[in-house]
């Protein structure tokens, strides 16, 4: 639809130029016709708003502003113009066409880069709502700053809007951790699906690992440049990054920070649910009442963890806590299970994983894991799965790393740049979310026995 809109606007300009090119219009007459064309283009955009994928969101705001400004200036020129013998030159008409096309195309860049995404269909009986708070860990200093400030962990809560009809402490809690330079909305469709089916979901952010977030002062915190550079270099699928002790130390720093963040979030959410202790909480946008409502619903005896990529690795290791009932690793290498690096090999935690664990890989990741099993390469995921008491593993044929987030549904362009496969994005997302829901229904709610296919 975006291409059609651009084509209609440019066609209008071409038709106007063709009609006027051989005419030697006096400037006042040209200005009048220019105003008519500008108004026609506004009408075209207005009619296109009735069609799917065209709206007044940020994707088309720039175009709407340009059309309006052009019409206003054309009106001013027409009203202020005096009768004159001067004629509009042909070169000026051509320049007008070219500039118009360039402005339209530039204004529509957001519409080409992002889709009109309004989420996936939900299967539950509840309506999800969201609120935000920030947890401050006074026991840790912020290592990315030099001002002595404490580490902050933003938490975004998703829960049923029909909370007044739900008994206190009756809903399981699921805590999500995003991937490297991801953000809290990376798997929004999964949070909403869980909330619609009677869960409270807490999507936490890791400041300076997140693409961007905000602190308690309202300041925007963007991803740390060094972390961003290192993570992109190590994660580059086209580069051979040898296992070294330096690599182990770097990745250990990342995962240790995230493990501390998620562990702190677990503690604070439990304290708030069990003891109404909100001493570490800072509320934003008048969200205290909503946060208290969400926390009131939490059954702190039924907590599941999950995450994507580095967040999935975080969920696995924090999931070893006695107060965690289940964990999901969505396409993450379990860095937290790597205890050391000795004689060119990783030393991996071999302690049995004694709770339900679901591991979902992309196709390439799955194939690499299988190849590692055929050699003496010590790969953390293989070791954990081999020693797990109740683990499930699967992969999606044709999937890439970013297929396990909502990004392909929001911006196929950026998702392709960062790594997706040829699997249908909607089918992949819906299948992933159903697996997540079925797994937690079984492990946290005791509804049926969970099973998984070898691949999807």
Average pLDDT, the chain: 92
Residue 103 and residue 188 in one domain: no
Would you tell me how many other CB atoms lie within 10 Å of the CB of residue 213? Answer: 23
| DSSP three-state, residue 244 | coil
pLDDT band at 25 (very low <50, low <70, confident <90, very high): low
Residue 377 and residue 426 in one domain: yes
Q: Which residues of 90-128 are buried (b: 16+ CB within 10 A; e: fewer)?
A: eeebeebbeebeebbeebbebbeebbeeeebebebebeb
pLDDT band at 284 (very low <50, low <70, confident <90, very high): confident
Percent of the chain whose predicted confidence (pLDDT) is above 70: 94
Q: Is the pLDDT of residue 51 over 90?
A: no
Write the CATH number for 384: 3.40.50.1820
Residue 188 and residue 334 in one domain: yes
C-alpha 286/C-alpha 281 separation (Å) is 13
Answer whether residue 47 is part of any domain.
yes
Segment 346-358 shows an average pLDDT of: 97
C-alpha 81/C-alpha 65 separation (Å) is 24
Last residue of a domain, one of 113, 148, 170: 113
Where in the sequence is the domain holding 289, given as residue range(s)?
Answer: 128-443
Segment 351-358 shows an average pLDDT of: 97
**Half-sphere exposure (Cβ direction) of 57: Cα atoms closer than 13 Å:** 12
C-alpha 71/C-alpha 35 separation (Å) is 6
Collect contacts of 402-405 with beta carbons under 8 A, ≥24 apart: 403/362, 403/428, 404/187, 404/308, 404/330, 404/331, 404/360, 404/362, 404/428, 404/432, 405/179, 405/182, 405/186, 405/187, 405/308
**Half-sphere exposure (Cβ direction) of 179: Cα atoms closer than 13 Å:** 20
Residue 176 and residue 225 in one domain: yes
Give how many domains the chain has, as a whole number.
2
Residue 364 neighbours by CB under 8 Å, 6+ apart:
237, 400
Percent of the chain whose predicted confidence (pLDDT) is above 90: 74
Residue 94 and residue 161 in one domain: no
Residues 199-250 have pLDDT tens digits of 999 999 999 999 999 999 999 999 999 999 888 888 665 556 678 999 999 9
* Token duo for residue 52: 């799917």
* Token duo for residue 247: 């690599």
C-alpha 418/C-alpha 425 separation (Å) is 14
Q: Is 271 exposed, middle or buried (0-12, 13-18, 19+ CB in 10 A)?
A: middle
pLDDT at residue number 129:
97
Contact 307, 329 (CB under 8 A): yes
Segment 268-277 shows an average pLDDT of: 97
pTM: 0.88
pLDDT at residue number 82:
58
pLDDT at residue number 19:
78
Last residue of a domain, one of 113, 143, 172: 113
Answer whether residue 455 is part of any domain.
no
Residue 223 and residue 354 in one domain: yes
Answer whether residue 448 is part of any domain.
no
Would you tell me how many other CB atoms lie within 10 Å of the CB of residue 339? Answer: 14
Looking at residue 239, the DSSP 8-state letter turns out to be S
Segment 52-80 shows an average pLDDT of: 87
Distance linking the first and last C-alpha atoms of the chain: 31
Residue 144 and residue 72 in one domain: no
Residue 315 and residue 226 in one domain: yes
Residues 68-111 have pLDDT tens digits of 999 998 888 778 765 555 555 667 668 878 888 899 999 999 88
Answer whether residue 451 is part of any domain.
no
pLDDT band at 33 (very low <50, low <70, confident <90, very high): confident
pLDDT at residue number 31:
76
pLDDT at residue number 243:
86
Segment 376-395 shows an average pLDDT of: 96
pLDDT at residue number 23:
64
Residue 135 and residue 50 in one domain: no
Answer whether residue 305 is part of any domain.
yes
pLDDT band at 326 (very low <50, low <70, confident <90, very high): very high
pLDDT at residue number 233:
81
pLDDT at residue number 80:
75
Contact 366, 379 (CB under 8 A): no
Contact 338, 371 (CB under 8 A): no
Q: Is the pLDDT of residue 22 over 70?
A: no
Answer whether residue 426 is part of any domain.
yes
Conformational region of residue 276, where left means phi above 0, alpha means psi within -120 to 50, and beta covers everything else:
left
Residue 264 and residue 389 in one domain: yes
Residue 87: phi and psi, rounded to 5, are -110, 150
* Token duo for residue 130: 């969201």
Answer whether residue 242 is part of any domain.
yes
Last residue of a domain, one of 113, 147, 175: 113
Contact 256, 318 (CB under 8 A): no
Residue 22 and residue 97 in one domain: yes
DSSP codes joined into one string, 355-413: S-EEEEEEHHHHHHHHHHHTSS---HHHHHHHTBSSEEEEEETT--GGGGSSHHHH-HH
Segment 315-319 shows an average pLDDT of: 98
Q: Is the pLDDT of residue 288 over 80?
A: yes
Residue 287 and residue 410 in one domain: yes
The partner residues of 157 in beta bridges, in order of sequence, read 131, 202
Answer whether residue 174 is part of any domain.
yes
């Amino acid at each position: 639809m975006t291409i059609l809109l651009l084509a209609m606007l440019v066609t209008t300009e071409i038709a106007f130029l063709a009609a006027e090119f051989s005419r030697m219009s006096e400037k006042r007459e040209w200005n009048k016709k220019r105003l008519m064309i500008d108004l026609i283009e506004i009408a075209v955009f207005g009619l296109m708003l009735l069609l799917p994928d065209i709206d007044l969101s940020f994707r088309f705001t720039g175009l709407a502003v340009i059309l309006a400004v052009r019409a206003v200036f054309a009106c001013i020129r027409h009203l202020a113009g005096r009768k004159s013998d001067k004629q509009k030159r042909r070169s000026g008409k051509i320049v007008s066409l070219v500039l118009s096309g360039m402005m339209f195309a530039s204004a529509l860049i957001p519409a080409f880069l992002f889709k009109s995404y309004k989420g996936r269909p939900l299967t539950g009986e509840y309506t999800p709502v969201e609120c935000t708070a920030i947890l401050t860990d006074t026991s840790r200093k912020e290592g990315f700053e030099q001002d002595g400030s404490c580490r902050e962990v933003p938490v975004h809560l998703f829960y049923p809007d029909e909370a007044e009809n739900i008994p206190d402490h009756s809903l399981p809690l699921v805590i999500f951790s995003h991937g490297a330079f991801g953000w809290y909305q990376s798997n929004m469709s999964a949070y909403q699906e869980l909330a619609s089916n009677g869960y409270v979901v807490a999507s936490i952010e890791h400041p300076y690992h997140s693409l961007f977030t905000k602190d308690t002062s309202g300041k925007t915190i963007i991803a740390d440049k060094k972390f961003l550079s290192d993570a992109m270099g190590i994660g580059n699928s086209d580069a051979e990054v040898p296992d070294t002790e330096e690599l182990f130390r770097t990745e250990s720093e990342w995962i240790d920070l995230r493990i501390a963040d998620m562990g702190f979030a677990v503690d604070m959410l439990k304290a708030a649910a069990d003891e109404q202790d909100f001493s570490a909480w800072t509320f934003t946008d008048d969200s205290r009442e909503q946060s208290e409502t969400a926390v009131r619903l939490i059954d702190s005896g039924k907590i599941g963890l999950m995450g994507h990529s580095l967040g999935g690795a975080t969920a696995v290791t924090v999931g070893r806590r006695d107060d965690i009932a289940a964990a999901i690793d969505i396409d993450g290498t379990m860095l937290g299970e790597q205890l050391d690096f000795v004689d060119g090999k990783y030393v991996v935690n071999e302690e049995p994983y004694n709770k339900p664990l679901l591991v979902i890989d992309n196709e390439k990741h799955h194939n690499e894991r299988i190849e590692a099993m055929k050699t003496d390469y010590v790969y953390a995921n293989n070791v954990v799965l081999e020693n797990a008491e109740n683990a499930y593993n699967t992969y999606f044929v044709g999937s890439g790393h970013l297929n396990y987030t909502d990004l392909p549904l929001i911006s196929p362009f950026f998702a392709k740049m960062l790594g997706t496969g040829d699997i249908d994005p909607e089918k992949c997302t819906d299948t992933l979310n159903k697996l997540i829901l079925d797994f937690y229904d079984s492990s946290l709610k005791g509804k049926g026995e969970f099973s998984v296919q070898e691949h999807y």
